[in-house]
Chain A
């Protein structure tokens, strides 16, 4: 099983809504990531969880709140978003640890539209 599963695939929300994006992997990977990607741009790193601990937060606004309930699951809680937050949100995982190659396995993404 080499899949990273993200839900929902599409999400439309208003600026006052609260929603969550979910990500799951069953590859035994110990590092999980949230990336944001705007059209025609490379992905931008938002958060990294390593061994279930938040290890990187790339100065992301507090309206994005990550959570890693266990080694297989990663959530991104969304609150009071702005229209400019509309983007493709990608979850990825990697083996983690110094023995890992760093290769990222991406989910299909959640396309978010903020009205």
Chain B
């Protein structure tokens, strides 16, 4: 069965701290995506990781992909309240033009002042 597992599913942390969200997947894929969703809102693309060893950074967020380990990480550096949201990883199982994604359950991140 194709699975994408995120952990933790819930994370409450203090501002200024560092933390990592993990995304493990069970199928061969070299395309992985991270999305952010604010409460009651739509999804926003954060990172597109398209090859083994890909690393992308945007502000206090950094994402990486290890296709051999079937693992992606989303690292938060010196968290600020504005980063509070739910973060989803999604893995492309098609590799073709239709981009069928398997989604993780999401990590709800709460950053306390």
Contact = CB atoms under 8 A, between A and B. Distances in A.
Contacts, number: 64
Contact of A42 (B88, B92, B98): B88
A14 interface: no
Nearest to A44: B103
B103 A105 contact: no
Interface residues of B, number: 23
A50 B50 CA distance: 21
Given A42-B88, A42-B105, A90 B97 contact: no
Contact of B48 (A41, A45, A101): A101
Contact of B92 (A31, A97, A102): A102
Interface of A is mostly: loop
A101 B106 CA distance: 22
A98 B96 contact: yes
A101 B33 CA distance: 10
Nearest to B92: A102
Given A42-B104, A45-B100, A108 B42 contact: yes
Interface string A37-75: 000111101001010000110000000000000000000
A102 B33 contact: yes
Interface in B20-71: 31, 33, 35, 41-45, 48, 50
A78 to B, nearest CB: 19
Contact of B97 (A31, A92, A103, A107): A31
A107 B48 contact: no
Interface of A: 31, 40-43, 45, 48, 50, 55-56, 88, 90, 92, 94, 96-98, 100-109
